[in-house]
């Protein structure tokens, strides 16, 4: 069945498959690989910087800029190339994300021509290494209420950047501790009359020509972390640091020489969320990188399971491989199926991002809102899948998985923080729920509990489930769903989709009903109702993304020509669908969507699918097409010799 792997690869690679293939075939296999030998933290930081500067010769960073900024405007190619870095050294992935995605993205998307001309060439070739200074010690997820101030002084026509409290310290800032020369600092913009205009971004040099901290800038080093040793995370504090007014990234808000403030967006909250929306590419990229790291771990664990032997069958001679055991199959194969779903959904997300970015800030608002919600949800689910799956893969390889040479511990450590940065997953899932409650019609101008309650009070679920690229497919497949609850019913794709859609719709309507009651309550009671309903909102968001993933797989199956490839992908889709139903079978039983007999049939079907797919496990992970040079871990990839050399 190995001849099926290339066909599956073509399906998984998606629209920018040529970018993936170019990187796989790169003449320098060490360009993206982790260090060949263990390094100290400082050595790893130096190594990662060298790797980052080497990336400057690759085309994917210019792909992320419009032609007017000196790029190609192939945004999907840029994000896809970034995703592929997730198969190699994740410190490089994160450092490149800070440089090209966050710092470069802030200049490109929040600045105007003067900033593009002055800073983007240096950002691209690595002569200007930058930071993205948003997160503060006291206001991590509550970005709208950051404490750092940027006050215009009309007497000198400068902006004074200041950290007024210890909580205003910028924390966990990549590139800050060692390499960064300039920071894109998010701060409350204040004009000379004392009026605040909300959070804006100002470019602040943080080091002088000698590499020492700039005057008024205090730089700290976060030191050793749980992972990502090559990323120099640091802290930044500003003591009345003066920069030219020219350094204000002024696409969405500007100050004139006389001190007057103007903006094309009158409402400060709307302006703030519009600015953040232009930076959504970071969340898309983190989801992709997490998916790549997960596929690497699954490839290592699966290939190990196919040659590692443990115990022989009664009356047999040779010991059985780990993959022969149902418990091992149940560990690896549902995770592989979910990784297929996430990769296909990620491809759709990248296409959506590419189309929105192509409008250069003038995309239809509904499309922008849906992109933000979809990116938030897939980032949350993909990073949680990475954390859970890489740990499972480590355990599935026993002691061999615990050896540093075999990479699984490094993958686990390096991806652990992915659930936190570019948005905490709990916060992101609430954003998804908010998008669902508003049917992506309203901007995310206010994330407060009272705003969520107001949205819920106006909610109708009539059109949410039809707003999807696969709406026609869902309708066709649901029409094939059997009405009975026989043991075989759950294997029908229409029945599977009906179960997913019904769960999403019911949970979302229930959450809206609970929050809607709060609209008529006193504020303190309303807050308590919202707090009690948070788990309901998170469940609605998760159910929505589960449905998005099944749609992505279903579309891929429907697009295949009849034959072995379609049959194999169809089985993978069944396994994802039924293992997801199995995980939530308590809900389905409680709400009468499954009978006890049907629930048992789901469990039995998952086991049978795992058994049937086990002989194709190597094909399924080979379809990820990860070069062995990127994987490393030869002890996991290949069996040990059975005879010792004399």
Mean pLDDT of the region 245-257: 96
Q: Are 581 and 503 in contact (CB under 8 A)?
A: no
Mean pLDDT of the region 636-640: 77
Residue 566 has pLDDT above 90, yes or no: yes
Strand runs labelled E in 395-459: none
Q: Which of 44, 65, 58, 246 is nearest to 156 (CA)?
A: 246
Residue 80 has pLDDT above 90, yes or no: yes
Q: How confident is the model at residue 459 (pLDDT cuts 50, 70, 90)?
A: low
**Which tens digits make up the pLDDT trace of 272-305?**
888 887 788 999 999 999 999 999 999 999 999 9
Residue-level pLDDT at 529 = 80
Residue 472 has pLDDT above 70, yes or no: no
Residue-level pLDDT at 163 = 97
CA distance 125 to 510: 52
pTM above 0.85, yes or no: yes
CA distance 219 to 237: 7
Task: Kindly report the length of the chain.
Answer: 646
Residue-level pLDDT at 646 = 45
> How many Cα atoms within 13 Å fall on the side-chain side of residue 553?
26
Residue 368 has pLDDT above 90, yes or no: no
Residue the block writes with tokens 């409402």: 267
- In Å, what is the CA distance from 271 to each residue of 42, 92, 150, 197, 451? 40, 33, 17, 9, 17
Q: Are 184 and 196 in contact (CB under 8 A)?
A: no
Packing angle, helices 471-479 and 493-518, rounded to 10: 120
CA distance 493 to 500: 11
Residue-level pLDDT at 79 = 95
Average pLDDT, the chain: 89
Q: How confident is the model at residue 361 (pLDDT cuts 50, 70, 90)?
A: low
Residue 467 has pLDDT above 60, yes or no: no
Q: Which of 148, 418, 408 is nearest to 302 (CA)?
A: 408
Residue-level pLDDT at 482 = 54
Least confident of 415-424, 486-495, 540-549: 486-495
Q: How confident is the model at residue 1 (pLDDT cuts 50, 70, 90)?
A: very low
Q: Is the model more confident about 7 or about 368?
A: 7
CA distance 246 to 189: 14
Residue 219 has pLDDT above 70, yes or no: yes
From the CB of residue 32, how many other CB atoms can be counted at a distance below 10 Å? 26
Residue-level pLDDT at 442 = 58
Mean pLDDT of the region 402-412: 92
Residue-level pLDDT at 440 = 63
Residue 241 has pLDDT above 50, yes or no: yes
Mean pLDDT of the region 566-583: 97
Mean pLDDT of the region 359-387: 86
CA distance 607 to 601: 10
Mean pLDDT of the region 98-119: 96
CA distance 75 to 443: 23
Residue-level pLDDT at 641 = 60
Residue-level pLDDT at 278 = 75
Q: Which of 597, 532, 600, 545 is nearest to 576 (CA)?
A: 545
Q: Is the model more confident about 230 or about 33?
A: 230
Tally DSSP H helices, then E strands, for the chain.
Answer: 25, 13
Q: How confident is the model at residue 462 (pLDDT cuts 50, 70, 90)?
A: low
**Cα 30–Cα 35–Cα 41 angle in degrees, nearest 5:** 145
**For the ranges 306-320, 422-436, 631-645, the one whose mean pLDDT is highest:** 422-436
């Amino acid at each position: 069945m190995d001849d099926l792997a290339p066909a599956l690869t073509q399906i998984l690679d998606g629209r920018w498959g040529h970018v993936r293939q170019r990187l796989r075939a790169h003449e320098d296999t060490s360009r993206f690989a982790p260090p060949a030998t263990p390094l100290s933290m400082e050595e790893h930081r130096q190594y990662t910087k060298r790797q980052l500067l080497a990336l400057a010769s690759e085309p994917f960073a210019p792909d992320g800029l419009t032609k007017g900024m000196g790029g190609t405007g192939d945004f999907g190619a840029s994000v896809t190339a970034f995703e592929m870095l997730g198969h190699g050294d994740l410190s490089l992935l994160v450092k490149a994300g800070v440089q090209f995605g966050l710092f470069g993205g802030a200049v490109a998307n929040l600045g105007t021509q003067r900033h593009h001309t002055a800073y983007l060439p240096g950002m691209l070739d690595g002569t200007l290494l930058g930071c993205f200074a948003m997160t503060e010690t006291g206001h991590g997820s509550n970005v709208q209420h950051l404490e750092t101030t940027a006050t215009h002084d009309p007497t000198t026509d400068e902006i004074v950047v200041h950290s007024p409290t210890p909580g205003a310290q910028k924390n966990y800032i990549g590139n800050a501790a060692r390499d960064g020369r300039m920071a894109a600092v998010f701060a409350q913009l204040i004009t000379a009359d004392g009026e605040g205009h909300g959070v804006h971004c100002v470019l602040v040099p943080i080091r002088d020509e000698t590499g020492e901290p700039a005057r008024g800038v205090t730089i700290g080093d976060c030191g050793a972390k749980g992972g990502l040793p090559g990323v120099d995370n640091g802290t930044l504090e500003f003591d009345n640091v003066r920069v030219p007014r020219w350094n204000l990234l002024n696409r969405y808000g500007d100050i004139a020489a006389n001190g007057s403030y103007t903006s094309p967006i009158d409402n400060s909250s709307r302006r703030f969320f519009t600015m953040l929306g232009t930076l959504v590419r970071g969340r898309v990229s983190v989801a992709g990188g997490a998916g790549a790291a997960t596929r690497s771990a699954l490839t290592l664990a699966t290939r190990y399971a196919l040659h590692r032997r443990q115990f022989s069958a009664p009356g047999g001679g040779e010991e059985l491989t780990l993959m022969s055991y149902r418990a091992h199959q149940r560990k690896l194969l549902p995770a592989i199926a979910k990784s297929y779903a996430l990769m296909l959904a990620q491809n759709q997300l990248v296409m959506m991002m590419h189309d929105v970015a192509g409008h250069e800030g003038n995309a239809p608002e509904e499309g922008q809102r849906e992109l933000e919600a979809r990116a938030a949800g897939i980032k949350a689910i993909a990073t949680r899948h990475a954390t859970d799956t890489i740990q499972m893969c480590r355990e599935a390889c026993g002691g061999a998985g615990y050896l540093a040479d075999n990479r699984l511990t490094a993958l686990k450590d390096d991806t652990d923080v992915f659930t936190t940065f570019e948005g905490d997953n709990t916060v992101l899932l609430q954003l998804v729920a908010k998008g669902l409650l508003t049917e992506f019609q309203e901007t995310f101008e206010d994330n407060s509990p009272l705003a969520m309650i107001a949205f819920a009070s106006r909610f109708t679920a009539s059109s949410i489930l039809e707003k999807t690229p696969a709406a026609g497919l869902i309708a066709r497949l649901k029409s094939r769903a059997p009405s009975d609850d026989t043991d075989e019913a759950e294997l029908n794709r229409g029945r599977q989709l009906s179960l997913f859609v019904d769960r999403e719709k019911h949970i979302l309507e229930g959450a809206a009903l609970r929050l809607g009651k709060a609209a008529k309550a006193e504020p303190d009671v309303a807050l308590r109702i919202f707090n009690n309903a948070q788990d309901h909102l998170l469940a609605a968001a998760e159910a929505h993304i589960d449905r998005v993933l099944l749609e992505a797989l279903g579309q891929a199956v429907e697009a295949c020509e009849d034959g072995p490839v379609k049959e194999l992908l169809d089985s993978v889709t069944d396994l994802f669908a039924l293992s997801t139903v199995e995980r939530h079978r308590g809900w389905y039983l409680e709400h009468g969507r499954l009978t006890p007999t049907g629930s048992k049939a789901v469990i039995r079907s998952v086991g049978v699918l795992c058994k049937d797919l086990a002989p194709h496990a190597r094909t399924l992970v080979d379809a990820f097409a990860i070069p062995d040079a990127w994987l490393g871990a030869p002890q996991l990839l290949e069996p040990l010799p059975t005879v010792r050399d004399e």
